């Protein structure tokens, strides 16, 4: 996919222990194996640490500096800035083909991002929340879940081509 295209955004929602993290891991493995660049986006429930307190990068950050750390294979950026889903996609999503977003059941990314939302069911007979907007599919637990999610991503990629 060319760098000037907007990535496909798959919002993977569900209650706790519904398999969101597992599905994102499986999708990332499959999609990167196909040569696609994948971004995984997760809202952290606590403050992020680049390094343990007292180490160099943590000390730089505590002193007020933005921090870029790299080791030849990885680049990690930590900035003093409030961020939301749009900011995460804008800053980290450049050049990616697919963004897999965990959660955000009520928040959509702004234009130009086109999000597709799926809900992961935990058990037979469970339903997604009635007020959930923009739901593409409710995926039941089981081995077919990954294939169903891949089919949704493939459809979106084909439409974006």
pLDDT band at 4 (very low <50, low <70, confident <90, very high): low
Mean predicted confidence (pLDDT) in 90-110? 82
User: Above pLDDT 90, what percent of the chain?
Assistant: 40
Question: Given a cut of 90, is residue 68 above it in pLDDT?
Answer: no
Question: Helix (H) and strand (E) counts for the chain?
Answer: 4, 7
Q: What is the pTM of this model?
A: 0.79
Most confident of 68-72, 79-83, 85-89, 154-158: 154-158
Mean predicted confidence (pLDDT) in 53-69? 81
Question: Given a cut of 90, is residue 112 above it in pLDDT?
Answer: no
Closest CA to 98 of 15, 160, 140, 14: 160
* Token duo for residue 34: 């196909």
User: 8-46+82-160 maps to which CATH number?
Assistant: 3.40.50.300
Handedness of CA 11, 39, 87, 58 (dihedral sign): positive
SS3 60: helix
Cβ-contact 11, 130 below 8 angstroms: no
* Token duo for residue 158: 């084909």
SS3 136: strand
Closest CA to 138 of 17, 22, 27, 11: 11
């Amino acid at each position: 996919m060319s760098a000037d295209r907007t990535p496909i955004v798959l919002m993977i929602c569900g209650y706790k222990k519904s398999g969101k993290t597992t599905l994102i891991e499986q999708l990332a493995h499959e999609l990167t194996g196909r040569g696609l660049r994948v971004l995984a986006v997760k809202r952290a429930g606590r403050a992020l640490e680049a390094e343990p307190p007292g180490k160099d990068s943590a000390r730089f950050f505590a002193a007020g500096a933005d921090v870029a750390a790299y080791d030849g294979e990885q680049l990690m950026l930590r900035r003093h800035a409030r961020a939301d889903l749009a900011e995460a996609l804008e800053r980290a999503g450049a050049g990616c083909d697919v963004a897999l977003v965990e959660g955000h059941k009520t928040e959509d990314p702004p234009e130009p991002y086109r999000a597709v939302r799926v809900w992961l069911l935990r058990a037979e007979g469970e339903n997604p929340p009635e007020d959930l907007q923009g739901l593409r599919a409710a995926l039941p637990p089981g081995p077919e879940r990954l294939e169903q999610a891949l089919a949704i991503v493939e459809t979106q990629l084909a439409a974006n081509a």
